[in-house]
Structure 1
Amino acid sequence: MKILLTGGAGFIGRWVAKHLLSEGHQLWILDDLSNGREENISEFKEHPGFIQFINDSILNETLLEDLFNENHFEICYHLGASINVQDSIDDPRTTFNNDTIGTFYILEQCRKHNTKVIFMSTCMVYDRCNDETGITENHSTKPASPYAGAKVAAENMVLSYYHTYGLPTVVIRPFNTYGPFQKTGGEGGVVAIFINNHLKGIDLNIYGDGTQTRDLLYVEDCAKFVVSAGFSDAVNGEIVNAGLGKDISINNLASLITGNLMKIKHIEHIHPQSEIQKLLCNSGKATSLLDWKPEVTLEEGIARTKTWIQQGGLL
């Protein structure tokens, strides 16, 4: 199939691209490199299915119109977004423009060409979970940051195009994803940052008291989930979660990675109002509709990520 992948030079996008190419599809990647890196997809450049990399923005309507008119995409995986919660608090306009208005521009082109849309949302739209069975798609939302608010607004637009125009769309909400190719600096995920600091002998800094929990999904499992949503009519018009199904406190995660409690430090939270105390995913819907289950344990995923960083995979 002819597929457009926005945000394809990013961390998760890179793995989605790899999976799509391995299945024999023709792939175009659109990414402005505000979060991604062209080096992430350099290994795909000679692949016969890799048609084009476009270094531009989803806010460029003229570009989008030309791309869709020329190529008549059958599927659009829309991962391109501003993804940093703290940045969204400091600069909500940029996040809203990229995540909400940019999604609207994508939807308009997909509507004209009847292109299926897989919209990457986030678990950060959810309210705190106190149920040990985990957060289902029916769990209440609480946009505690402009990032989450922009994603909720975009989700509603995506679903409205399904109900109004019959456009095949699906909203996916992966939980905290980690693994090789994730940045190990300030914009990276907690697992990559902790592993990198541990390997350098640097303290592992935890915001707040560290009792907040996260459900950590290995990136290859996430990519398989993302791709599968594009090829199933069963999820059209639906919201679907994906996670490991187990949560771990940030304190315990740091201990698991470093093994040295003296290297774990607690610091004042920059934006405590955006913190979600407990995130635990219930992926039952993904299992039922997509026959998807995570395969990589947290311990194995951490080991793979550590090996990647040790072999020079620092970003």
Structure 2
Amino acid sequence: MKVLVTGGAGFIGRWVVKKLLDDNHNVWVLDDLSNGRMANIEEYENKNNYMGFTKGDIRDRKLIKSLFETKFDICFHLGASINVQDSIDDPITTFENDTIGTFYILEECKKHNVKLVFMSTCMVYDRAISNGGITESHATKPASPYAGAKIAAENMVLSYYYAYGLPTVVIRPFNTYGPYQKTGGEGGVVAIFIKNKVEGKKLKIYGSGEQTRDLLYVEDCARFVVDAGYSSKANGEIINAGLGCDISINDLALLIAGDKTKIEHVKHIHPQSEISKLLCNYDKANKLLGWVPHVDLEEGIIRTEEWIKSTNLL
């Protein structure tokens, strides 16, 4: 198939591109490099089915129209502003990228009848209230402009399925981590903790650390994303993916550091947007796609730490 991946030079995007190339599809990448980086995808440049990279903004309608003349079969739309704190400080940029940019992509998908897989987030949910985990029917709570912009985009994506019969699917992966994730402030908690451990620095926990996260290894996430694109059963659906078990940030820090004295608590920078318990129920992904995670947290941390130690790309 001919496949476009927006945000394909980003952390999850580069793994989605890898999976698609390994499955022998022809892949095009669009990214504005505001968060992604060329180093993430440079290894693909010599692959025959890697069709090239376009540096561009999903809000650039002229560029998007030109790109879609390729007549793709599927668009995996991962391009977005992803930082919760940035969305609180600068909501307009997040809204324009995540909601309006998605609308422009939708319009071109409708024009050329291209299936759209829309990358949303578990951050749209209210906290889990039971050990059964969060299902797709769980209450949403836009506790940040990032979550609000994603919910708005989700609704537009599903409206094109119902109004126009366009094959679309909304995916909500839980907290994803692994190799190629940035280790700075915009990175994920696992990558940041491991980087600090490797450098002999203390692991800093915002707030009490009692908040929990369901941590999904990135290759499992990429397989989920791609499977949602391949399956017609996913069309018109919202689908979760996660490990199916959660861990408190305190326990995660101890698991990584191995020493309580290497951990300190600091004042939370955005407590109003914190979700106290995130636990994924992925039964729907299993039923529709046959998807289950393959990499447990301990193995995923080992793989991520090995990568961080082996690279200058941080």
Which TM-score applies when normalising by structure 1? 0.99
| Partner in structure 1 of residue 43 of structure 2 | 43
1:182-193 to structure 2, matched below 5 A, reads 182-193=181-192
| Partner in structure 2 of residue 272 of structure 1 | 271
Cα 1:313–1:226 change in 2 (3 A) is: farther
Counterpart CA distance in 2 for 1:251 and 1:68 is 46
Please report how far the alpha carbon of residue 130 of structure 1 lies from its aligned counterpart in structure 2 after TM superposition: 1.5
Which TM-score applies when normalising by structure 2? 0.99
SS of equivalent to 1:58: coil
1:210-225 to structure 2, matched below 5 A, reads 210-225=209-224
| Partner in structure 2 of residue 126 of structure 1 | 125
Counterpart CA distance in 1 for 2:65 and 2:253 is 46
| Partner in structure 2 of residue 8 of structure 1 | 8
1:248-283 CA-partner distances (Å, limit 9, x unpaired):
000000000001101111001111100000000000
Please report how far the alpha carbon of residue 314 of structure 1 lies from its aligned counterpart in structure 2 after TM superposition: 3.7
SS of equivalent to 1:76: strand
Counterpart CA distance in 2 for 1:127 and 1:302 is 27
Counterpart CA distance in 2 for 1:65 and 1:314 is 33
1:1-315 to structure 2, matched below 5 A, reads 1-69=1-69, 71-315=70-314
Which letter does structure 2 place at the counterpart of 1:24?
A: N
Counterpart CA distance in 1 for 2:104 and 2:308 is 37
Q: How many residues align?
A: 314
Which letter does structure 1 place at the counterpart of 2:155?
A: N
1:71-114 CA-partner distances (Å, limit 9, x unpaired):
10110000000000000000000000000000000000000000
CA RMSD in angstroms comes to 0.5
Counterpart CA distance in 2 for 1:136 and 1:314 is 36
Report the identity percentage: 69
Structure 1: which 4+ aligned runs deviate by more than 6 Å?
Answer: none
Which letter does structure 2 place at the counterpart of 1:265?
A: E
SS of equivalent to 1:230: helix
Which letter does structure 2 place at the counterpart of 1:41?
A: I
Which letter does structure 1 place at the counterpart of 2:300?
A: G
1:177-200 CA-partner distances (Å, limit 9, x unpaired):
000000011110000000000011
Question: In 2, are the aligned partners of 1:181 and 1:313 still within 8 Å (CA)?
Answer: no
Please report how far the alpha carbon of residue 313 of structure 1 lies from its aligned counterpart in structure 2 after TM superposition: 4.7
Question: In 2, are the aligned partners of 1:184 and 1:314 still within 8 Å (CA)?
Answer: no
Counterpart CA distance in 2 for 1:91 and 1:161 is 28
Stretches of structure 1 that go unaligned for 5 or more consecutive residues are none
SS of equivalent to 2:36: coil
1:181-239 CA-partner distances (Å, limit 9, x unpaired):
00011110000000000011101000000000000000000000000000101010000
